[in-house]
């Protein structure tokens, strides 16, 4: 009887997969081709099709939900409403308005100089994560609290859990080695009555990733990580100065602080490659306790070193997904230690 039940589940899975593939080749691929270059010039081109931020910011609507934003709105040389993106307070207020309008987050605030990431790019990571999970579920995006996601380095802003839960209903664990970030993120979660679906945990060992965060028998479905980009404070400062120069700003007093960022958020020993490499080798110990492991990779030249580490770790499959926001290109690298049949068994058992 159990064998017959399992066979029926397998048939359902393969029928889902066939339906998904048929849809993709007949419709979705066509939609992708038709939407290239159609995003408004003043909007955020290249974003995921489900991303809510394709259009230009409507500051009238945003000020309507967040009146504090009004004092930061300016008219640029093209007679278009915008804000000064070198102004950290203005960027924070824009984020507050976007979270309120698009995700129903009514209470959100972070301390001065803490990382205040751009919302559209963070939403893209969430949507690509959903697609990755669907690839293990016959093309169907699994939704609801039964899907458990670990956000490594959640930060004081708590952006990924807030967007991920609001979009897909997932349950989040957010970890951070900065105790104050944990306190602020926990306050945001509590203020928005999300404590039952977002659990913020302190990582006491700054060199550990999963150890000390996941409980002995705890299982998650996927991890997210936006690792520190730089290997030193000087490199972080130089990188931010170069960014603003490329964007046409001649000079900024403190270029690193436009989107904020504390030491542990901006740089770490070994930089991005060092952090992700540690994450890869520590993931071996948890290879049967998470279906997928993922991380953002900001620089394409870092990919080869990451692929070498993944090969040494003995992963079964690696996927690299490119993401674009305006002129900025990043990529999401995902790996799993489980084979195709184990992915099927995982989804049938956990994602009912």
pLDDT at 286: 98
pLDDT at 219: 98
pLDDT at 42: 35
CA-nearest of 121, 68, 92 to 261 is 92
Task: Look at strands 220-225 and 81-83 and give their pairing.
Answer: unpaired
Q: Residue 7: pLDDT band by 50, 70, 90 thresholds?
A: low
pLDDT 10s digits, 27-54: 333 333 232 333 323 344 689 999 999 9
CA distances from 43 to 58, 90, 123, 153, 247 (A): 10, 18, 15, 29, 16
Q: How far apart are CA 151 and CA 295, in angstroms?
A: 10
Mean pLDDT of the chain: 83
The total number of residues written for the chain in this structure: 352
CA angle 208, 163, 152 (to 5 degrees): 5
Q: Are residues 311 and 280 in contact, defined by beta-carbon separation less than 8 angstroms? A: no
Inform me whether the pLDDT recorded for 150 exceeds 50: yes
Q: How far apart are CA 352 and CA 347, in angstroms?
A: 8
Q: Which whole number is the average pLDDT over 221-241?
A: 64
pLDDT at 325: 84
Backbone angles phi, psi at 292, to 5 degrees: -130, 145
Q: How far apart are CA 229 and CA 275, in angstroms?
A: 9
More confident residue, 184 or 15: 184
Q: Which whole number is the average pLDDT over 235-251?
A: 49
More confident residue, 176 or 40: 176
Q: Which of 187-191, 232-236, 258-262 has the highest mean pLDDT?
A: 187-191
Q: Is the pTM of this model over 0.85?
A: no
3-state secondary structure the chain: CHHHHHHHHHHHHHHHHHHHHHHHHHHHHHHHHHHCCCCCCCCCCCCCCCCCCCCCCCHHHHHHHCHHHHHHEEECCCCCEEECCCCHHHHHHHHHHHHHHHHCCCCCCCCCCCCCCCHHHHHHHHHHHHHHHHHCCCCCCCCCCCCEEEEECCCCCCHHHHHHHHHHCCEEEEEECCHHHHHHHHHHHHHCCCCCCEEEEECCCCCCCCCCCCCCCCCEEEEEECCCCECCHHHHHHHHHHHHHHCCCCCCCCHHHHCCCCHHHHECCCHHHHHHHHHHHHHHHHCCCEEEEEEEECCHHHHHHHHHHHHHHCCCEEEEEEEEECCEEEEEEEEECCCHHHHHHHHHHHCC
What proportion of the chain, given as a percentage, has pLDDT over 70? 75
Least confident of 2-16, 200-214, 272-286, 316-330: 2-16
Inform me whether the pLDDT recorded for 131 exceeds 50: yes
**Terminal CA-CA length for the chain:** 19
Residues 6+ apart with CB under 8 A from 334: 132, 292, 293, 294, 318, 319, 320, 321
Q: Which whole number is the average pLDDT over 197-208?
A: 96
Q: How far apart are CA 258 and CA 2, in angstroms?
A: 58
Q: Residue 352: pLDDT band by 50, 70, 90 thresholds?
A: confident
- Please give the domain boundaries of the chain with CATH numbers for all domains: 110-350 (3.40.50.150)
Q: Which whole number is the average pLDDT over 7-35?
A: 44
pLDDT 10s digits, 254-268: 444 444 544 444 444
CA-nearest of 301, 339, 338, 336 to 319 is 336
pLDDT 10s digits, 271-325: 899 999 999 999 999 999 999 999 999 999 999 999 999 999 999 999 999 999 8
The tokens describing 78, both together, are 């093209």
């Amino acid at each position: 009887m159990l064998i017959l039940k399992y066979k029926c589940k397998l048939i359902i899975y393969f029928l889902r997969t066939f339906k998904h593939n048929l849809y993709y080749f007949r419709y979705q691929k066509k939609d992708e081709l038709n939407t290239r270059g159609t995003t408004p010039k003043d909007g955020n081109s290249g974003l995921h099709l489900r991303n809510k931020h394709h259009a230009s910011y409507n500051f009238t609507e945003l000020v309507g939900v967040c009146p504090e934003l009004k004092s930061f709105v300016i008219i640029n040389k093209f007679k278009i409403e915008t804000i000064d993106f070198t102004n950290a307070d203005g960027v924070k207020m824009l984020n507050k308005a976007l979270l309120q309008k698009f995700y129903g987050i009514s209470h959100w605030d972070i301390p001065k100089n803490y990382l205040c990431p751009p919302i559209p790019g963070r939403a893209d990571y969430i949507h690509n994560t959903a697609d990755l999970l669907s690839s293990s579920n016959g093309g169907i995006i699994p939704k609801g609290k039964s899907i458990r996601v670990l956000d490594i380095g959640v930060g004081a802003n708590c952006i990924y859990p807030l967007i991920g839960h609001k979009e897909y209903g997932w349950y989040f664990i957010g970890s951070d080695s900065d105790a104050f970030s944990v306190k602020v993120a926990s306050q945001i979660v509590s203020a928005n009555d999300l404590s039952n679906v977002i659990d913020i945990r302190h990582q006491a060992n700054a060199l550990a990733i999963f150890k000390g965060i996941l409980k002995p028998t705890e299982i998650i479905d996927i991890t997210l990580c936006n690792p520190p980009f730089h290997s030193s404070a000087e490199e972080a400062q130089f990188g931010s100065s170069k960014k603003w120069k490329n964007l046409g700003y001649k000079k900024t007093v403190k270029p690193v602080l436009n989107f904020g960022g504390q030491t542990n958020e901006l740089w770490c020993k070994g930089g991005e490659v060092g952090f992700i490499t540690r994450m890869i080798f520590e993931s071996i110990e948890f290879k049967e306790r998470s279906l997928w492991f993922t991380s953002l990779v900001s620089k394409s030249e870092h990919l080869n070193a990451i692929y070498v580490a993944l090969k040494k770790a003995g992963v079964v499959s690696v996927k690299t997904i490119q993401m674009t926001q305006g002129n900025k290109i990043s990529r999401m690298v995902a790996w799993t230690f489980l084979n195709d049949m184990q992915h099927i068994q995982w989804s049938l058992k956990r994602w009912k």
